[in-house]
Structure 1
Amino acid sequence: MKEIRWHGRGGQGGFTASRLLGIAASVHGEKHALAFPSFGPERRGAPVLAFTKIDDTKIHDRSEVQESDYVVVMDETLIVPGFEKGIKPGACILINTQKIDSYSEQLKDFDLQGIDATSLAMEILGRPITNTAMYGALAAVSGLVSKEAAIASIHTEMKPKLAALNEKIVEKAFELMNN
């Protein structure tokens, strides 16, 4: 089983991205998936965690992710002391940042990947909602789902106009991560 932990803030779409990954894996792939949020006060800007579990067989364990294979950080201000607890050594940490090298010492035991998802979202959506940029980047670096499944999940869940814009974001994220 692969376990993914999503760090974001209320309003950034972290749980939506978690759900899209689950849909891509289960509905548009040949895997089983669970996606679920974990948050305290439900307000815009508050820290939010979301989780996705993906496996080849039915998933019976519905507990919170304890040992993440992948961690997606939609807001780099959420990387605080102790952040790395519960992440497997060597796991991939994907950060929305313009300066991935600034984390190389603090997170030296992990495979660090970075993308400027905020600029990408602003360019295409005109708003700093980074969830589909981070989702596309994760799909690209992890191989958990194909680009086609990632895009199909967007069309399954979103209204056509919004889906078209988010498809562009996923395409661009794949392109940026594969360069």
Structure 2
Amino acid sequence: MRELRIHGRGGQGSVTAAELIAVAAFEGGVYSQAFPAFGVERRGAPVQAFVRFSDEKIRLRSQVYEPDYIIVQDSTLIKDVDVFGGMKEGGIAIVNTEHDLPGNVPAGVNLIKIDATGIALEILGVPITNTTLMGAFAAATGEIELPALEKALMARFPGKLGEKNVAAASHAYKLVKGEA
């Protein structure tokens, strides 16, 4: 089983990202599970969402404490939250930033920095980065295929909004793959 932990702030779409990644994984033929960690969160407060991937049925229902992957939607969280906590050696961390990180990345973690905010502003016209980071996740990990992600995005956001989200995810995918 492989596990993903998504760190974001309320209103950034972390829960939606987890759900759509799980749908895309399921479309790709693996078992998947997505769920949020909720307390008294409000817009702007730190939130977490989780995804599990497995070739066998998933029976585990706890939070993800030792992720193989993390996505950080807002790099300012690194100062306040231990986003790298429990990360497995050889794991992949995808961070929305174009700057140096305000903390240390643990040894053995593969860091991918991407300006998801810039991509979202350019393509979507708003700084909502979740679909851009999903494209980066697909490229970096291979856990989900881009066509399956595109299908999940179009099902969730039909019409022009879906097309824009697909374009943002595809652009990030190509950047991480070195094709853009």
Q: CA deviation at 1:128?
A: 0.3
* 1:176 alignment counterpart: 175
Secondary structure of the equivalent of 2:76? helix
Moved over 6 A (4+): none
Q: CA deviation at 1:24?
A: 0.3
Q: CA deviation at 1:104?
A: 9.6
- The answer to whether the 8 A contact 2:75-2:101 is kept is no
Secondary structure of the equivalent of 1:90? coil
Q: CA deviation at 1:84?
A: 2.2
1:107 corresponds, among 102, 105, 113, to 105
User: Which protein has the bigger strand share?
Assistant: 1
Q: Which residues of structure 1 form unaligned runs of 5+?
A: none
**Stretch deviating more after TM superposition (13-22 or 84-93):** 84-93
* 2:126 alignment counterpart: 127
Instruction: Please give the residue correspondences for 1:64-75 in structure 2 after superposition, counting only pairs within 5 Å.
Output: 64-75=63-74
- Pair 167,82 (structure 1): closer, same or farther in 2 beyond 3 Å: closer
Q: Which residues of structure 2 form unaligned runs of 5+?
A: none
AA in 1 matched with 2:11: G
The percent identity for this pair of structures is 43
Secondary structure of the equivalent of 1:52? strand
- The answer to whether the 8 A contact 1:7-1:74 is kept is yes
Distance 1:34 1:108 in 2: 27
* 2:86 alignment counterpart: 86
Residue 155 in 1 paired to residue 154 in 2?
A: yes
Give the TM-score, by structure 2 length. Answer: 0.93
Secondary structure of the equivalent of 1:89? coil
AA in 2 matched with 1:55: S
Q: CA deviation at 1:178?
A: 1.1
* 2:11 alignment counterpart: 11
- The answer to whether the 8 A contact 2:78-2:102 is kept is no
Distance 1:164 1:16 in 2: 17
* 1:22 alignment counterpart: 22
**Stretch deviating more after TM superposition (112-121 or 85-94):** 85-94
Distance 1:176 1:82 in 2: 27
- Pair 104,12 (structure 1): closer, same or farther in 2 beyond 3 Å: closer
Q: CA deviation at 1:35?
A: 0.3
- The answer to whether the 8 A contact 1:22-1:35 is kept is yes
Q: CA deviation at 1:42?
A: 3.1
- The answer to whether the 8 A contact 2:71-2:95 is kept is yes
Give the TM-score, by structure 1 length. Answer: 0.93
- The answer to whether the 8 A contact 2:78-2:103 is kept is no
> What's the C-alpha RMSD, in Å, of the aligned pairs?
1.5
